[in-house]
Structure 1
Amino acid sequence: MNAQVASNSVAVAHATHQTAPTQYVEANGIRFAYRRFGKTGGVPLVFNIHFTGTMDHWDPAVTDGLAQGREVILFNNAGISSTSGEVPESIEEMAANAAAFIKALGLTQVDVLGFSMGGLIAQTLALAEPKLVRRLILVGTGPRSGEAMESLTPEAQDIFGATYAEPDDLWLRVHFSPSDASQAAGRKFLQRFRLRAEGRDPEVNEKVAPAQLAALAKWGAPRENPFDYLHALKQSTLVINGDNDVIIYSINSWFLQQNIPNAQLIIYPDANHGSLYQYPERFVTHVTQFLSESDEQA
């Protein structure tokens, strides 16, 4: 058994975003698809992806960059791509499934990164499992009842409703600002986005978006004192966004930072929703520094 564990650790350490094999684990009656790679031995970093995204919607510059210093775990939540089951119509159920997945891997402590809708899941997971989640990274996301979060923003409705000569060009508008510099960064991202050709996840089916939109509507619905729940988030939290996020408005990141007791906020210039993809090296540096502080305190 020890030899097997050692062998697995070596395999994880030598894998990359492009080469890490898709593995499966059962939990909550769901067969979760996941990939693990990077430097083992510390607290792993679990990634939660955006609306209609799969494991292959992450930027290799981000995942491989962070994997230099820690183990990275990517997964598809219930009903997404290569994971079985149905997509729940609530963020709370999505978070419960994420917790079941993490525990099924035998992990007792993780750091959690959530991007966009994944950030809603990450918040909920951290609140429900305070001993399991050590530190929290929230990117391009927002709080319950945040500004224009009850439905897709008008800009998002226009972007997702348009047709594109190349399907991947959708992401140039979702993640990047209209400036020449941002669009140039976006085209570089699209090249990285398609680097993994073998063993790539299939795109999500037609059932995913309606279920996720229903969950987003419940999350964003107006309520009294909507941000009070954030006061219970005791994990040290890093909030990152672009200065002009039109998918989840940038002001929502400020709401998070103002209401989470131990949170810091970083805003990247001339950036839209995918600030981490526009500035991958900067993002990796900021996240590595943030997580390393906790490693030193452990």
Structure 2
Amino acid sequence: MSAIDAPNQFIETNGRRLAYRSIGEGKPIVLCTRFRGNLDCWDPAFLDALAAAGFRVITFDYSGLGLSTGTASYNPFVMVNDPRDLIEVLSLRDVVIAGWSLGGIVAQVFVAQHAAHVSHAVLFGTTPPGPIVKPAEPLFFTTAGREVNDFEDEVILFFEPRSAESRAAARRSADRIAGRTSGRSPAVPVEFARANLAGDPSAPIFPALPVLAALRATTVPILHVGGDHDIIFPVENWYALNQSLPTVQLLTYPSAGHGPHHQHPEATAEHIATFVRTTARKPAAAL
């Protein structure tokens, strides 16, 4: 079964219904989606490549959004309950927790709060916690808050508009995502999204020093996959923490933006598979 025709499935837990999809067999990887994201915002080629690499690939809608019920929130310390409950109800073990953008923040909170449940963490186009050295570009906020994002908006938000190769990859990715025609997840309401956009683009979006402290002490191997021109979460903020995050590896694609795994779906899946296969948790005393 491919991502394009994976059936919608549901669990009932803690007073709400969570929608999810699952493809592949093997080590579970649970993917937390981006701002304004739902089940249908992941590139099927990326999900299929993960499945082909030996993962059980699980995507889901956050509470109160898409096909899930409950109360919607974009507070990562609330959102983290969704992957936690999904992992518990599905009896998953030794999980790779992964997340894109806002979902990458959720994944970091998960590592800080529930490290015993995960073997690895994979982050895409997200920000580290704490102070930052390079702020977001205002263009992201004006584009992300539009009622409907057309193809050109998606190029701005997730790719590198100055690169012909990145633009071509954006077109291919958009066509693949549009390939699912039934059972699609409803869009995140624009009013909800706008209400959660930062008022000050220069302010750090994830000023969570306890999470930063947890990442400095964790034994969970972490891989961040970024683009060299991410207009919302510049990858430079990760490099500024070199030598202070003992388990973090950084992979940065050239001429790429906020959605590097959509520009390079197969390569990113292979990098993740190699990372998980060759990198193990270290004893705490070794850090």
Larger proportion of helix? 1
Partner of 2:285: none
CA contact (8 A) 1:141 1:253 kept: no
**Range that drifts further, 262-271 or 88-97:** 88-97
2:176 to 168, 192, 196: 192
Cα gap change, 1:153 to 1:225, in 2 (>3 Å): farther
Pick aligned residue for 1:130 from 89, 105, 115: 115
Measured in 1, the distance between the counterparts of 2:219 and 2:196 equals: 27
Q: What corresponds to 2:153 in structure 1?
A: 170
Mapped partners of 1:146, 1:180: distance in 2: 34
Amino acid at match of 1:53: G
CA–CA separation in structure 1 for the residues paired with 2:243 and 2:125: 15
Q: TM-score, normalised by structure 1?
A: 0.84
Contact 2:137/2:231 (<8 A) preserved: yes
Contact 1:149 1:221 in 2 (8 A): no
Structure 1 contact 17–60 (Cα < 8 Å) conserved: yes
Q: Residue type of the partner of 1:177?
A: E
> Residues 90-135 of structure 1, C-alpha deviation per residue, up to 9 Å, x if partnerless?
2111112321121111223311111111100001011111111110
Q: CA deviation at 1:189?
A: 0.9
Gaps of 5+ in 2: 283-287
Q: Which amino acid aligns with 1:30?
A: R
What's the secondary structure of 2:166's corresponding residue?
Answer: helix
TM-score by length of 2: 0.87
Residues 54-79 of structure 1: CA deviation (Å, up to 9, x unaligned): 01100111100001111100101111
- The reply to whether residue 286 of structure 1 matches residue 271 of structure 2 is yes
Count of aligned pairs: 279
**Given the alignment of the two structures, is residue 58 of structure 1 paired with residue 42 of structure 2, yes or no?**
yes
- Secondary structure of the 2:116 match is coil
Query: Which of 263, 274, 279 in structure 1 is aligned with 2:259?
Result: 274
Which of 199, 215, 220 is 1:235 aligned to? 220
Of 205, 208, 226, which residue of structure 2 is paired with 1:220? Answer: 205
Q: Confirm whether residue 155 of structure 1 aligns to residue 139 of structure 2.
A: yes
Q: Aligned to 2:232, which of 227, 247, 267?
A: 247
Q: Distance in 2 between matches of 1:162 and 1:209?
A: 10
Corresponding residue for 1:46?
30
Identity %: 32
- C-alpha distance in structure 1 between counterparts of 2:208 and 2:76, whole Å: 16
- For residues 162 and 32 of structure 1, do their structure 2 counterparts lie closer, same or farther at Cα, with a shift above 3 Å needed? closer
Offset, 1:256: 5.7
Alpha-carbon spacing, 1:213–1:163, altered in 2? closer, same or farther (3 Å): closer
Match of 2:21 in 1: 35
Unaligned runs of 5+ in 1: 1-14
